[in-house]
Structures are given as structure tokens and as C-alpha cells.
Amino acid sequence: MPVGGAALDLTGVPLPEETLSVAKQSDAILLGAIGGYTWDANEKHLKPETGLLQLREGLGVFANLRPATVLPQLIDSSTLKREVAQGVDLMVVRELTGGIYFGKQRGFAKNENGDEIGFNTEVYATYEIDRIARVAFETARKRRGKLCSVDKANVLEASMLWRKRVTMMASEYPDVELTHMYVDNAAMQLIRDPKQFDTIVTNNIFGDILSDEASMLTGSIGMLPSASIGDSGPGLYEPIHGSAPDIAGQDKGNPLATVLSVAMLLKYGLQEEAAAKRIENAVLETLDKGFRTGDLFSMGMRLVGCKEMGEEVLKSIDSQRLAAV
Ligand SMILES: NC(=O)C1=CN([C@@H]2O[C@H](COP(=O)(O)OP(=O)(O)OC[C@H]3O[C@@H](n4cnc5c(N)ncnc54)[C@H](O)[C@@H]3O)[C@@H](O)[C@H]2O)C=CC1
Ligand SMILES: CC(C)CC(=O)C(=O)O
Ligand SMILES: [Mg+2]
């Protein structure tokens, strides 16, 4: 179903009603990244990105899980020194349907001096903080039991409330160690010592930014999948990256973040654990064989394009299927 730029071109709106309705009736949704130069200059501010925000809101998928794991195969692709990168395995739990991207008070206006202003507002209600905090505590409990809540509670009221509510919930999770960190420090600590993190919970905009940063620990933004879930209804699965318009159409994109998003879809959305594992194994085997798209390339590896990388993953999935028969 069309969403984003494709939908704008076809229908004049970035999320047609029919797309949302079909999505809601589906078991799970896989989203290709949206956006591009064609629509950036749109004077009416009708953006493909609005369609994605509307889709997330329409599906009620408030919890965005973004795992960042440094695979042994990609240790030389990480921007970090080997000893810092080795063993990094963290999960960013990003609030996805609230905060500054959704603040109702937004727009363009003039200030008292007649200067043009653009403004947005960050609003969080307790129910929004509580439900994402619960997902984060539950996630941390199933991982290594460490939860770091990232905010800017030294400056922002929305963050002050965030910190208060997350702290209150900690008493329900005595087995989870809760810490708090300001986002500027978190951005630095992710590079200095990423292994200190297990699960990170944070608001919409901080999670957006920190997960792009975390992707470079793993080697490339082309490696990071995500799952967005709500209380009920289908989940939304998508790579964390955008449409990469600077390399579009050149067969250079790394397809693995999307492929791994399909694995997350199978695992969390359809409870097809075995099929998810087959895809994950295929990705690992393809990397083991030395295939690398340009974003991951390091000395001694085999440079391939997007298409060939995809074909190699498919071959590996097929060979696992044959082995299972
Ligand atoms: N969820 C989504 O659909 C998102 C959409 N966007 C949209 O995408 C467009 C481009 O945004 P950017 O800020 O440039 O972010 P981007 O994530 O598309 O690209 C950032 C950089 O990473 C590279 N990159 C991204 N994905 C890659 C992949 N799979 N393989 C290899 N390299 C990859 C790109 O070539 C570029 O140099 C914009 O219109 C933006 O709004 C941005 C982020 C998320
Ligand atoms: C439309 C944007 C909020 C998309 C984005 O950058 C993301 O979700 O990571
Ligand atoms: Mg982003």
C-alpha cells in the first residue's frame, strides 16, 4: 500500500485512508523507508514523513524497539576500537507516538518583532510515559536487567515528569537496576563505553537521534531493524534508516536492516520464531562468507551491491530449508 512520497504522488496525501485501513486489518506491517529530495522542497509542507507519523499514530504503535548489536563478523566495520565495540548489545526503547513530533501546538508565525518563527511543543502525559516505561522495564527484565532512562530533566518539564514516572515504576521491578542519564551525556557515553548499556528508554526525538548514533557502533545504519508495537493490533516493522536518497538507484544500499526487520516481524508479529531464526542465520552466514555492501566494507571482504547481497541471503535461506527437509 502506498505511503509517504508514493502516496503523495498518487493521491495528494501522504497516508491515504485505504492504506491505514488495510494496515489495521493486517497481521503485521513491513514499511519501506520514506522521503526523498523530490518532496523536500514542497512549499505546502506536505511531507512524506507526515504519512509515517500518521501511520504510527493510527496504528497506536507507541513502543519502538531498536536493537543495536555488534556482530563479531562486523567488528572491523564499527567506528569504535575493537576492544570498545566487542560485545556491544543494547536495545533502545523509543517512545514513538508522542513528544515533540506530535505536539499539537506547532507551526509558523511572527513574533512581537515581526520575525518569522517556527515552533513545536513537547508534551508528555503520564499515561504515555507509564506505558513506554512498562515496555522498557519488561524488556530489560528479559535482557540483562539494566535500564537506563535518558532525558533532559535538568531543563525540560516534559523530561522532569518523565523521570518522576519512570522512577515511580521502578518499585514494581526490583529485579531491574534503573539509572538515569541526561541525553547529552548519553550521546557521549554511547561512544566512550557502549557496553555499560543494556536497555535504554527515552522519548521520541532523543530515541530517534541516539539510535542513529548507536547504529554506527554496529558498523552501519544499514544494519539496524526495528519493531514498533502497541497495546493491541498489528505491529509495524521497518529499518531505522531513511530512504538514503544520496545513493538511491545506484545498487549501493545495504538491504540487511530491512531483511532483519522481516525477521523481527516474523518473531514478534507472527510468532514464527523458526522462520525468523532462518533469516537471522542467513544474514550471519552471508556476512561469514565475506559479502559486504559499501557501508560495511573492510579490507579482504567481497564488495557487493544491494541486489547481490539480497540474493546471497536468499541462497542461504534456501539452503537452510533444504537442510531441514
Ligand atoms: N523511517 C523512515 O522512513 C525515515 C525516513 N527518513 C527520510 O529519509 C530521507 C533521507 O534522510 P537522511 O537524513 O539522509 O537519512 P538516511 O537514513 O536516509 O541516510 C543517512 C545516511 O546513511 C546512509 N544510509 C542509510 N541507509 C542506508 C543503507 N541501507 N545502506 C547504506 N547506507 C545507508 C545514506 O546513504 C546517508 O548517507 C529524508 O527524506 C528523511 O526524512 C529518515 C529517517 C527515517
Ligand atoms: C519521520 C521521522 C521521525 C523518521 C525517523 O527519522 C525515524 O523514525 O527514525
Ligand atoms: Mg530517524
The ligand with the least distance to the CA atom of 305 is: 1
Q: What are phi and psi of 271, to 5 degrees?
A: 55, 35
Instruction: Determine whether the shortest distance from the Cβ of 43 to ligand 1 is under 6 A.
Output: no
Query: What is the SS3 assignment for 52-73?
Result: HHHHHHHHCCCEEEEEEECCHH
Mean pLDDT to the nearest integer, 141-160: 98
Q: State how many domains the chain has.
A: 3
- How far is 37 from 40, CA to CA, in rounded Å? 5
CB 23 within 8 A of CB 265: no
Q: What is the pLDDT of residue 46?
A: 83
Question: Is residue 43 pLDDT above 70, yes or no?
Answer: no
- Concerning whether 101 is annotated as a catalytic residue, the answer is yes
Per the domain annotation, does 232 fall within a domain?
no
**Which of ligand 2's atoms lies nearest the C-alpha of 53?**
1
Q: Is 52 in the pocket of ligand 2 (CB under 6 A)?
A: yes
Whether 49 is in the pocket of ligand 2, judged by its Cβ within 6 Å, is: yes
Ion ligand 3, residues whose Cβ is below 5 A away: 208
Task: Please check the confidence at residue 20 and state whether its pLDDT lies above 70.
Answer: yes
Considering 188, 219, 250, which residue would you say is the last residue of a domain? 219
Higher-confidence position of 46 and 178: 178
Q: Is 137 inside a domain boundary?
A: yes
Q: Do 68 and 156 belong together in one domain?
A: yes
Question: Residue 139: which of 167, 168, 171, 173 has the closest Cα?
Answer: 173
The band of 44, judged by pLDDT with boundaries at 50, 70 and 90, is: low
| Residue that wins the pLDDT comparison between 217 and 45 | 217
Which pLDDT does position 40 carry in this prediction?
84
Q: What is the pLDDT of residue 3?
A: 97
36-65: average pLDDT: 90
Predicted pLDDT at 41: 77
The CB of 247 under 6 Å from ligand 1? The reply is yes
In the residue annotation, 89 being an active-site residue is answered as no
Is the ipTM reported for this complex over the cut 0.90?
yes
9 and 89, same domain (yes or no): no
Angle between helices 48-59 and 17-24 (to 10 degrees): 40
What pTM value is reported for the model? 0.96
pLDDT at 49 over 90: yes
Judge if 111 and 29 occupy the same domain. Answer: no
Ligand nearest to the CA of 260: 1
Residue 323 has pLDDT above 90, yes or no: no
Once rounded to an integer, what is the mean pLDDT over residues 239-268?
97
167 pLDDT higher than 90:
yes
Looking at every residue in the chain, the average pLDDT score rounds to 96
Give the tens place of pLDDT for each residue, 22-35.
999 999 999 999 99
Residues 162, 78 share a domain:
yes
- The H or E element spanning position 182 is strand 177-182
Owner of C-alpha cell 507551526: 107
The reply to whether 32 and 164 lie within a common domain is no
Residues 186-203: what's their mean pLDDT?
Answer: 98
- Verify that 183 and 271 share a domain, yes or no: no
In whole angstroms, give the CA distance from residue 146 to residue 139. 9
What is the predicted pLDDT for the residue at 225?
98
Query: Which ligand is nearest the CA of 95, by number?
Result: 2
Pairing of strands 107-110, 116-119: antiparallel
**Residue 208 CA neighbour count, 13 Å, CB half:** 10
Q: Are residues 272 and 212 in the same domain?
A: no
Q: Does 228 reside within a domain? A: no
pLDDT exceeds cutoff 70 at 9: yes
- End-to-end CA separation in angstroms for the chain: 35
Q: Give pLDDT tens digits for 204-242.
A: 999 999 999 999 999 999 999 999 999 999 999 999 999
Q: Are 71 and 218 in contact, with CB atoms under 8 Å apart?
A: yes
Q: How confident is the model at residue 267 (pLDDT cuts 50, 70, 90)?
A: very high
Residue-level pLDDT at 314 = 97
Q: 35 CA to middle of ligand 2, Å?
A: 10
Q: Is the pLDDT of residue 42 over 70?
A: no
Is 184 one of the catalytic residues? yes
Which residues make Cβ contacts (< 8 Å) with residue 50, sequence separation at least 6?
14, 15
Provide the pLDDT confidence category of residue 324 given band limits of 50, 70 and 90: confident
Do 176 and 249 lie in one domain? The reply is no
Residues 138 and 171 in one domain: yes
Instruction: Please name the helix (run of DSSP H) or strand (run of DSSP E) that holds residue 91, with its range, or none.
Output: strand 89-95
Q: Do residues 306 and 251 make contact, with C-beta atoms less than 8 angstroms apart?
A: yes
The answer to whether position 168 is within a domain reads: yes
- Reported as a pLDDT band with limits 50, 70 and 90, residue 261 is very high
pLDDT tens figures, 92-143: 999 999 999 999 999 999 999 999 999 999 999 999 999 999 999 999 999 9
What DSSP letter does each residue of 265-315 carry, written as one string?
Answer: IIIIIS--HHHHHHHHHHHHHHHHTTEE-GGG--TTSEE--HHHHHHHHHH
Whether residue 208 has its Cβ less than 6 Å from ligand 2: yes
Residues 203 and 66 in one domain: yes
Q: What distance in Å separates the CA atoms of residue 120 and residue 103, rounded to the nearest whole number?
A: 6
User: Among 27, 3, 89, 57, which Cα is nearest to 269's?
Assistant: 27
Radius of gyration of the chain (CA): 20
Which of 8, 49, 101 gets mutated to test ligand 2 (max ligand atoms within 8 A of its CB)?
49
Domain containing residue 309: 242-324
